[in-house]
Amino acid sequence: MLDAVAGIVAEKDAKNFAREGEPYAERWLVIHTAEPFVEWVDFSAELPSRIFSPIQFDRVYLVRDYDPLTRSYPWWKINARSEKSAEIPER
């Protein structure tokens, strides 16, 4: 699953987004998944060791479909370091 996330981040990061005059302080990428066969406990354990390096995104999140057991939409913040995020202090 981590390789799939890395592929999606790289694919989205390769697209050109307008930056000149952009009114946003940060750009986020939110990836939605409905993968039924992922071992989410294993994914959660492996995620902190991976760092993604998008150029255009300050933050990257992975969001799952609604989970009736937890009555929530589980999500993970992906470790992303971008050139732009180095310029903007964390809030």
Among 10-19, 54-63, 75-84, the range with the most confident prediction by mean pLDDT is: 54-63
User: Is the confidence at residue 90, as pLDDT, over 60?
Assistant: no
Collect all residues with Cβ–Cβ distance below 8 Å to 26 and sequence separation of at least 6: 58, 59, 84, 85, 88
Summarised one tens digit per residue, pLDDT across range 49-61 is 888 888 888 889 9
User: Is the confidence at residue 70, as pLDDT, over 50?
Assistant: yes
Is residue 40, in this structure, part of any structural domain at all? yes
Is residue 22, in this structure, part of any structural domain at all? no
pLDDT for res 83: 47
State how many domains the chain has: 1
Q: What is the mean pLDDT of residues 60-85?
A: 83
Token representation of residue 73: 């939409």
Is residue 87, in this structure, part of any structural domain at all? no
Which carries the bigger pLDDT value, residue 8 or residue 22? 8
Is residue 6, in this structure, part of any structural domain at all? yes
Is residue 74, in this structure, part of any structural domain at all? yes
CA 67 – CA 47 distance, rounded (Å): 20
Is residue 85, in this structure, part of any structural domain at all? no
CA 79 – CA 50 distance, rounded (Å): 7
